[in-house]
Amino acid sequence: MTKNVLIVDDDKDLLVSLKEGLGKYNETFSVFTSENGLDATEKLKKHTISLVVTDLKMEPMDGFSLLSHIMENYPDIPVIIITGYSTPEMEKLAKKGGAVGYISKPFIIKDLAVKMLTTLRREADGGTLHNVSSGMFLQLVEMEQKTCTIRLEDTSSGRKGVLFFKDGELFDARMNDLQSKDAAYEIFSWDQVVLSIQNVCQVKENKIQSDLQGLILEAMRLKDERSGAEEESPDVPEPIPVIEEVKTEKPDPVSSVRSRIEKNLGARSGVEDIYLDSSWNDLISQMSRLGAFFRIGKIKSVFVDIGETRNFILKQDEETTVVAVSPKCPRDRIMQILN
Amino acid sequence: MKDLFKDILSVEGIKGVVLFSFKGEVLFKTFLSAIPEDPETRDWALFFDSIKKVGESDLIFEDGRMYLRKTELGFLVILMNSTAPVALVRLNCDVLLPSLKPAKISKGLGRFFKR
């Protein structure tokens, strides 16, 4: 996924040489330019920008004001400062204001490029996925209760958007000048996307305040309306199943496992039953061989799908505790809790 | 083949991928860091026979994780560190495994795979 970088400087010659010098990285990022902070704010509205590189002294709207605007409205976008009037105080102030990098002029373009590439790489520290259905993936993020920033590109139109998840809840969305729910509806209407995941979420406030499933369904409805195909049934993801109540009659360690899961996941755990069953011991013992071969220590817990309607999470102590779960349970969370 | 697993191998924390046949032969292997022993030195037949009912498995060990998935060719084993984003690895498998099918007769390792 090619990223967009915005470079802001009132020195037109510098902008031209930067655009030319950074052209060799065009497979990684495209360069947009602005001559002042005010114009940059407009570019930020129109394009999905991944990184801003800005000078400090400009009119109208200087680099500090732009930095402050970005921190308030686009806290996920990293900012690198380039300035010809560098002082230690200014550098301290810029970093305190949220800048991730600070480069004094004059500089070598390659040095700036290295800094830019390093910063951009963090945008996908959680990995990249090609040609996936966004609905399926996003429900997984919700179920796994992930905290992350997901950048998506619609493979058919090339449009880009950003989603912010905190503990599996969609906190905010942005697509060009669309924000929050409007942006989410647009992004959720994309069928196939390329997405990259960053394992942080800079958005602190929940601006969406809606259930993800409902948002996806509404996005599909709006898409149908737009395409005038009301009669066709929308290609909506399967609804998240109703979670069955956990039984409470088992002795320890079953009750211990149950209470830990309930405490951490509540009614969304997807747990159907918890019991002791030594018939799994052979399988766990076999699986332990893999760990022993690759020298990664003793086995702690195992998730297993053996083709039944429910799956199993196994925890071996003196006896094997079996947690029977629905296929859509947050398995990683449950395994973490067990460990 | 390495190209097929490119997205998986690019996920942070992935240490390697091994594709075993149902009889335990190593069909493909690639590791991004050193491993203590080459999997081809072991006879895995009994092991894979004992887990033949397993379609998918996540394994958490003291010092790492493993994701195991049954494919049309055999079992795919993905070795990773404890912090790797396993959900992403699973999704990558969902996307790529339909491409991993026995192909018609041709020469070389390529005879096993179809893209």
Please give the full DSSP string across B38-94, using - where no structure is assigned.
-GGGS--HHHHHHTTT-SEEEEEETTEEEEEEE-SSEEEEEEE-TTS-HHHHHHHHH
ipTM summary value: 0.85
pLDDT value of residue B74: 92
Out of A127, A294, A339, the one facing B79 most closely (by C-beta) is A294
Q: Which residue has the tokens 């929308």?
A: A234
Q: What six digits make up the tokens of B53? A: 């009912």
Q: Is the peptide bond before A60 cis (omega within 30 degrees of 0)?
A: yes
Rounded Cα distance, B46 and A316, in Å: 22
Q: What is the dihedral of CA B32, B33, B39, B40, to 10 degrees?
A: 70
More confident residue, A125 or A249: A125
Per-residue pLDDT of A9-26, as tens digits, reads 999 999 999 989 998 888
pLDDT value of residue A204: 84
Shortest Cα distance, chain A CAs vs residue B41, angstroms: 11
Q: What six digits make up the tokens of A135? A: 């609905």
Nearest C-alpha neighbor of A82 from the set A52, A127, A48, A123? A52
Rounded Cα distance, A319 and A281, in Å: 8
Contacts of B17 in chain A (CB under 8 A): none
Give the pTM: 0.55
Out of B7, B39, B58, the one facing A331 most closely (by C-beta) is B58
The pLDDT of residue A174 is above 80: yes
According to DSSP, the residues that pair with A83 across neighbouring strands are: A104
- Report CA A229 to chain centroid distance, whole Å: 32
The pLDDT of residue A243 is above 70: no
Q: Report whether B6 contacts B30 (CB < 8 A).
A: no
Surface-to-core class of residue A162, CB atoms within 10 Å of its CB (0-12 exposed, 13-18 middle, 19+ buried):
buried
Contacts of B66 in chain A (CB under 8 A): 290-291, 294, 296
In whole numbers, what is the pLDDT of chain A averaged over residues?
A: 83
Q: What percent of chain B has pLDDT over 70?
A: 86
Q: Is the peptide bond before A253 cis (omega within 30 degrees of 0)?
A: yes
Contacts of B65 in chain A (CB under 8 A): 296
Contact A131 B58 (CB under 8 A): no
Q: Report whether A108 contacts A82 (CB < 8 A).
A: no
pLDDT value of residue B86: 83
Per-residue pLDDT of B32-66, as tens digits, reads 988 888 999 888 998 999 898 999 999 999 999 99
Contact B53 A307 (CB under 8 A): yes
Shortest Cα distance, chain A CAs vs residue B47, angstroms: 7
CB pairs under 8 A between A and B: 114
Contact A335 B60 (CB under 8 A): yes
Shortest Cα distance, chain A CAs vs residue B25, angstroms: 15
In this prediction, residue B112 has a pLDDT band, given cuts at 50, 70 and 90, of very low
Q: What percent of chain A has pLDDT over 70?
A: 92
Nearest C-alpha neighbor of B77 from the set B96, B57, B50, B92? B57
In this prediction, residue A51 has a pLDDT band, given cuts at 50, 70 and 90, of very high
Shortest Cα distance, chain A CAs vs residue B12, angstroms: 6
Nearest C-alpha neighbor of A284 from the set B84, B19, B60, B63? B60
